[in-house]
Amino acid sequence: MVESQSTSQVSTPQAIVIGSGVAGLASAIRLAVQGFEVHVFEKNDYPGGKLSHFEMNGYQFDAGPSLFTQPQYIEALFKLANEPIEDYFNYRSLPIAFNYFYEDGTVVNAFTDVSRFAIEIKEKLGEDENNVLQYLYENGRIYDSIGKVFVNHSLHKCATLVKANIIAAFKASKAKYLFKTMHSVNEKRFSNAKTVQFFNRYATYNGSNPYQAPSMLNLISHLEHNEGTFFPAGGMISITNALYKLALNKGVTFHFGTPVQRVIRHNNEVKGVVANNENHYANVVVSNLDVYFTYKQLLNDGRKSKKIAKQERSSSALVFYWGIKKNFPELGLHNILFSNDYKAEFDALFRMKTCYRDPTVYINITSKCEPGILAPEGKENWFVMVNAPANGGQDWEAFKQQYRQAVIQKVSRILRVDIEPLIEVEEVLDPVLIENRTASYMGSLYGASSNSKLAAFLRHPNFTNSIKGLYFVGGSVHPGGGIPLCLQSAKIMTEMVGKDFSRKKRH
């Protein structure tokens, strides 16, 4: 039988990566540097997963993630591969991270200069600027102690936690970061409800609810305000292009249009995969597929997949890609148009799992940074996103119409111009399409939500004790979703592979 064939037939160490999302690409690069012959199997005919791109009538659109922070994790990949990053990828820092619009006409510019940002919050929202600076300083200090433990180490390996000195990290943290919600901490900290809403928003960076998620997620604001926000030349797709090119240059082989049908295993040890009804053998198999589908479809493990399915899913999104035949100077690269009732919006998303009548609207316009290149001259490419519940069989055709109307009304109201006649081209992405295109269970963007105190520890590890040689990366496993964390999942995983193979050689 195929399952009993020994990997001794493989003369050199080989690794198979399932999926070419950003974590899959980073994993392939790191494994190739470690000396593996790496093959990546991807069901789509392009790399990148959610981090993809398309063009309509001269408008260029990044299809997925739109915010670029912590470029040091990409730089680390090129340094590891001993390749000059400037030959592949360029980016620049931004003076303003986001522009925030409230219904009463208040506009807050989130300057990436922390001192200037604190003054802006004082002038626009009446907060004490020293209180804002102290809040961000505390978040930075706690991130440097406990946050980096979560990002750089497995939470499921005792040896790595001892090395990371997690006990000391927890001692350095205040109890509120562990046991209180984001909203309760922010509500107590700030005097203006608009400021509370401003900082509550960071729960959405991993698809969670600020009224339930632990205050530890407030540390995300440190990354944006203390470390900065950046724009990659050519848009977000340039990240995918750079990592794909680097992988090719390191000898990685890609098999596009080739979905993996199952993982081959024998005696609780991975042997390879079946793809296109052919066996492909390897010492290591890395799944960049959603962990739910890895167990359900590739391992035929109904018990484990059901257990994973019981965890609350993160939110999903509805995205309208609009070619707008007008320039809006009041908008920047990243724009937030806030809901009037934030709690009601999250109740709709997570408790009622339905469309909310007045959603918070995010508008990303990359043509602001490269006018005349990413959109026709005098026009703008709008990536318009609203938070949506994970797909549970709702009527998405009805939801799309409701959301579209709500978004148009809100944007038109705040910008004081009817934007509907300005929409020249349109494409829509909903949770059903997200699941179909990226194999994200229920269309959730970040796997499980972080709406509990133990969420970080409940997220699936980057390995499994039940099948040696099988590893996991991507947004559905530790340390979580978003480009920086996906890149770190690849680092954590490949460090495990290195240790596991060193142990094999010694024995």
Closest CA to 445 of 273, 317, 307, 292: 317
Task: Look at residue 380 and tell me if it is in a domain.
Answer: no
CA distance from start to end of the chain: 27
pLDDT, tens digit, 9 for 90 and up, residues 473-497: 999 999 999 999 999 999 999 999 9
Looking at residue 6, its pLDDT comes to 40
End of a domain among 228, 255, 277? Answer: 228
Q: What pTM was computed for the model?
A: 0.93
Return phi, psi of residue 109, to 5°: -95, 115
pLDDT band at 1 (very low <50, low <70, confident <90, very high): very low
Task: Look at residue 211 and tell me if it is in a domain.
Answer: yes
Q: Where are the alpha helices (DSSP H) in 310-389?
A: 342-346
Same domain, residue pair 241 and 217: no
Task: Look at residue 254 and tell me if it is in a domain.
Answer: yes
* Rounded-to-integer distance, Cα 413 and Cα 103, Å: 8
**Mean pLDDT to the nearest integer, 226-231:** 97
Same domain, residue pair 246 and 158: no
**Does the structure show a pLDDT above 50 at 278?**
yes
Same domain, residue pair 153 and 242: no
pLDDT, tens digit, 9 for 90 and up, residues 165-194: 555 555 555 555 667 999 999 999 999 999
Contact 400, 318 (CB under 8 A): yes
Looking at residue 170, its pLDDT comes to 55
* Rounded-to-integer distance, Cα 317 and Cα 446, Å: 11
- For 139, counting Cβ atoms within 10 Å of its Cβ (0-12 exposed, 13-18 middle, 19+ buried), the class is buried
**Does the structure show a pLDDT above 80 at 211?**
yes
Task: Look at residue 295 and tell me if it is in a domain.
Answer: yes
Same domain, residue pair 207 and 147: yes
Same domain, residue pair 287 and 254: yes
Give 406's contacts (C-beta < 8 A, 6+ positions apart).
355, 356, 357, 358, 359, 386
Structure tokens that stand for 153 in this block? 């180490």
Same domain, residue pair 281 and 244: yes
Same domain, residue pair 140 and 181: yes
One-letter amino acid for residue 384 of the chain: V
Looking at residue 151, its pLDDT comes to 84
Query: What string of DSSP letters covers 260-284?
Result: EEEEEEETTEEEEEEETTEEEE-SE
Looking at residue 307, its pLDDT comes to 94
Same domain, residue pair 127 and 224: yes
**Does the structure show a pLDDT above 90 at 58?**
yes
- Give percent of the chain with pLDDT exceeding 70: 92
Task: Look at residue 113 and tell me if it is in a domain.
Answer: no
Domain extent at residue 176: 119-228
pLDDT, tens digit, 9 for 90 and up, residues 333-383: 999 999 999 999 999 999 999 999 999 999 999 999 999 999 999 999 999
Q: Give me the CATH number covering residue 486.
A: 3.50.50.60
Q: How many domains does the chain have?
A: 2
Task: Look at residue 371 and tell me if it is in a domain.
Answer: no
Same domain, residue pair 202 and 123: yes
**Mean pLDDT to the nearest integer, 429-442:** 95
Same domain, residue pair 238 and 189: no
Return phi, psi of residue 59, to 5°: -95, 130
For CA atoms 280, 284, 288, 290, the dihedral sign is positive
Task: Look at residue 478 and tell me if it is in a domain.
Answer: yes
The mean predicted confidence, pLDDT, of the chain is 93
Structure tokens that stand for 504 in this block? 């094999």
**Does the structure show a pLDDT above 60 at 164?**
no
* Rounded-to-integer distance, Cα 272 and Cα 17, Å: 10
Same domain, residue pair 216 and 239: no
pLDDT band at 12 (very low <50, low <70, confident <90, very high): confident
**Does the structure show a pLDDT above 60 at 5?**
no
End of a domain among 213, 228, 243? Answer: 228
Contact 19, 12 (CB under 8 A): no
Task: Look at residue 221 and tell me if it is in a domain.
Answer: yes
Q: Tokens 């994970």 correspond to what residue? A: 390
Q: Where are the alpha helices (DSSP H) in 395-440?
A: 396-415, 431-438
End of a domain among 208, 228, 248? Answer: 228
* Rounded-to-integer distance, Cα 139 and Cα 464, Å: 33
Same domain, residue pair 466 and 495: yes
Could you tell me the CA-to-CA distances from 102 to 194, 227, 307 in Å, in that order? Answer: 8, 25, 41
**Does the structure show a pLDDT above 70 at 507?**
no
